[in-house]
Structure 1
Amino acid sequence: MNSPVEIPFDNIILLDRLSGTPVYLQIAHKMINAIQRGLLSNGARLPGTRALAETLDVHRKTVVAAYQELHAQGWIEMLPNKGTYITYKLQESGGKQLLINAEDLVSYPRAAGFSFDKSMLLDRPVSVSNVELEFTDGLPDVRLAPLDKLAKTYSGILRRKNSRKYLGYSHVEGNRFFREKLAAYLNNTRGLHINAENILTTRGVQMGIYLASALLIKRGDRVVVGDLSYYTANMIFQNAGANMISIPVDSQGISVEALRKLCETTPVRMLYLTPHHHYPTTVTLSAERRMELLSLSAKYGFIILEDDHDYDFHYNSSPVLPLASADRAGMVVYIGSFCKALAPGLRSGYMVAPANLIAELGKLRRIMDRQGDLMMEQALGEMLDDGEIQRHIKKAQKVYHQRRDLLSTQLDAQLGEYLTFKSPPGGLAFWTEWRKDINLMRVSKACLKQNLHLPQTLLFQTGKLSAVRLGFGNLNENEMTEAVLILKDILDKMH
Structure 2
Amino acid sequence: MFPYKTIFQLNRKSKQALYLQLSNQFIALIKERKLMPETKLPGSRTLSELLSVHRKTVVACYEELLLQGWVESIPKKGTFINANLPELHQQGFLPKTEISPINNIGFQFYKDKSLERKPIKKEIGFMSLNDGVSDARLTPTEDLARTYRRICSKKEIYKEMSYGSLFGNEKLRITLADYLNKTRGLNINKNNILITRGSQMGIYLSSKLLLNEGDIIVVGQTNYGSADTNFLQRTTNLVRVSVDENGLFTDEIEQICKKKPIKAVYVTSHHHHPTTVTLSAERRIHLLNLSKKYNFAIIEDDYDYDFNYNHSPILPLASHDTNGNVIYIGSVCKTVAPVFRVGYVVAPKEFVNEAANQRRFIDRQGDALLELTFEDFIKSGDLDRHIKKVMKVYKARRDLFCQLLKEHFRTFFSFETPKGGMAVWITLDKKYSWKTVAEVAQKHKLEIGEWQRYDLAKLGHNSIRMGFATYNEEEMYELINRLSKTMNEVIQI
| TM-score, normalised with respect to structure 2 | 0.90
Q: Deviations over 1:130-149 (max 9, x none)?
A: 34632211110111111111
Q: CA deviation at 1:18?
A: 8.4
SS for the counterpart of 2:420 is coil
Shift in alpha-carbon separation, 1:453–1:59, aligned structure 2, 3 A: farther
- Of 212-221 and 457-466, more deviation after overlay is shown by 457-466
Given candidates 110, 121, 126, the residue that maps to 1:117 is: 110
- Give 1:85's aligned amino acid: F
* Aligned counterpart, 1:483: 479
SS for the counterpart of 1:333 is strand
* Aligned counterpart, 1:322: 316
- Give 1:299's aligned amino acid: K
* Residue 469 of structure 1 pairs with residue 465 of structure 2: yes
* Residue 91 of structure 1 pairs with residue 91 of structure 2: no
- Give 2:480's aligned amino acid: V
Partner Cα distance (2:323, 2:163) in 1 = 35
SS for the counterpart of 2:242 is strand
Q: CA deviation at 1:449?
A: 3.5
Does the aligned pair in 2 maintain the 1:459–1:467 contact within 8 Å?
no
SS for the counterpart of 2:463 is strand
After TM superposition, the structure 1 = structure 2 runs for residues 89-488 of structure 1, keeping only pairs within 5 Å, are: 89-92=84-87, 103-104=95-96, 106-107=99-100, 109-131=102-124, 133-457=127-451, 460=454, 464-488=460-484
Partner Cα distance (1:276, 1:45) in 2 = 75
Shift in alpha-carbon separation, 1:41–1:101, aligned structure 2, 3 A: farther
Partner Cα distance (1:91, 1:331) in 2 = 61
Partner Cα distance (2:5, 2:217) in 1 = 62
Shift in alpha-carbon separation, 1:26–1:214, aligned structure 2, 3 A: farther
SS for the counterpart of 2:217 is strand
Partner Cα distance (1:447, 1:318) in 2 = 37
SS for the counterpart of 1:201 is strand
Q: CA deviation at 1:16?
A: 8.0
Does the aligned pair in 2 maintain the 1:167–1:374 contact within 8 Å?
yes
Does the aligned pair in 2 maintain the 1:444–1:456 contact within 8 Å?
no
Q: CA deviation at 1:209?
A: 0.6
Q: Deviations over 1:238-285 (max 9, x none)?
A: 111211111111111011111111111121111111111111111111
SS for the counterpart of 2:113 is coil
Partner Cα distance (1:15, 1:439) in 2 = 60
Q: CA deviation at 1:35?
A: 4.3
Does the aligned pair in 2 maintain the 1:129–1:453 contact within 8 Å?
no
Unaligned runs of 5+ in 1: none
* Aligned counterpart, 2:20: 25
- Of 370-379 and 108-117, more deviation after overlay is shown by 108-117
Shift in alpha-carbon separation, 1:299–1:39, aligned structure 2, 3 A: farther
Partner Cα distance (2:452, 2:186) in 1 = 33
Shift in alpha-carbon separation, 1:373–1:458, aligned structure 2, 3 A: farther
Does the aligned pair in 2 maintain the 1:39–1:98 contact within 8 Å?
no
After TM superposition, the structure 1 = structure 2 runs for residues 11-50 of structure 1, keeping only pairs within 5 Å, are: 20-33=15-28, 35=30, 40-47=35-42
SS for the counterpart of 2:213 is coil
Does the aligned pair in 1 maintain the 2:144–2:373 contact within 8 Å?
yes
- Give 1:120's aligned amino acid: K
Does the aligned pair in 2 maintain the 1:157–1:379 contact within 8 Å?
yes
Shift in alpha-carbon separation, 1:120–1:64, aligned structure 2, 3 A: same
Does the aligned pair in 2 maintain the 1:213–1:237 contact within 8 Å?
yes
Shift in alpha-carbon separation, 1:300–1:39, aligned structure 2, 3 A: farther
Shift in alpha-carbon separation, 1:471–1:53, aligned structure 2, 3 A: farther
Partner Cα distance (1:427, 1:234) in 2 = 20
Q: CA deviation at 1:445?
A: 3.5
Partner Cα distance (2:273, 2:229) in 1 = 14
- Give 1:110's aligned amino acid: N
Does the aligned pair in 2 maintain the 1:459–1:469 contact within 8 Å?
no
- Give 1:364's aligned amino acid: Q
- Give 1:378's aligned amino acid: L
State the identity as a percent: 40
Q: Deviations over 1:416-473 (max 9, x none)?
A: 2210110111000000001123232332243344333321257747672212210111
- Of 169-178 and 199-208, more deviation after overlay is shown by 169-178
Shift in alpha-carbon separation, 1:434–1:38, aligned structure 2, 3 A: same
Given candidates 67, 70, 78, the residue that maps to 2:65 is: 70
- Of 24-33 and 100-109, more deviation after overlay is shown by 100-109
Q: CA deviation at 1:77?
A: 3.2
Partner Cα distance (1:384, 1:331) in 2 = 27
- Give 2:118's aligned amino acid: P
Partner Cα distance (2:146, 2:74) in 1 = 58
- Of 115-124 and 168-177, more deviation after overlay is shown by 115-124
Unaligned runs of 5+ in 2: none
- Give 1:127's aligned amino acid: I
- Give 1:372's aligned amino acid: G
> How many residue pairs are counted as aligned between the two chains?
486
| TM-score, normalised with respect to structure 1 | 0.90
Partner Cα distance (1:209, 1:403) in 2 = 30
Q: Deviations over 1:276-330 (max 9, x none)?
A: 1111111111111011001111111111111000011000111221111111111
Q: CA deviation at 1:205?
A: 0.6
Partner Cα distance (1:39, 1:246) in 2 = 65
Partner Cα distance (1:459, 1:438) in 2 = 18
SS for the counterpart of 1:347 is coil
Q: CA deviation at 1:367?
A: 2.3
SS for the counterpart of 1:26 is helix
Q: Deviations over 1:364-416 (max 9, x none)?
A: 11222122111111111111111001110111111111111010101000112
Q: Deviations over 1:71-105 (max 9, x none)?
A: 34343234577443123733349xxx989678458
Shift in alpha-carbon separation, 1:121–1:383, aligned structure 2, 3 A: same
Partner Cα distance (1:283, 1:153) in 2 = 37
Shift in alpha-carbon separation, 1:471–1:69, aligned structure 2, 3 A: same
- Give 1:491's aligned amino acid: M
SS for the counterpart of 2:115 is coil
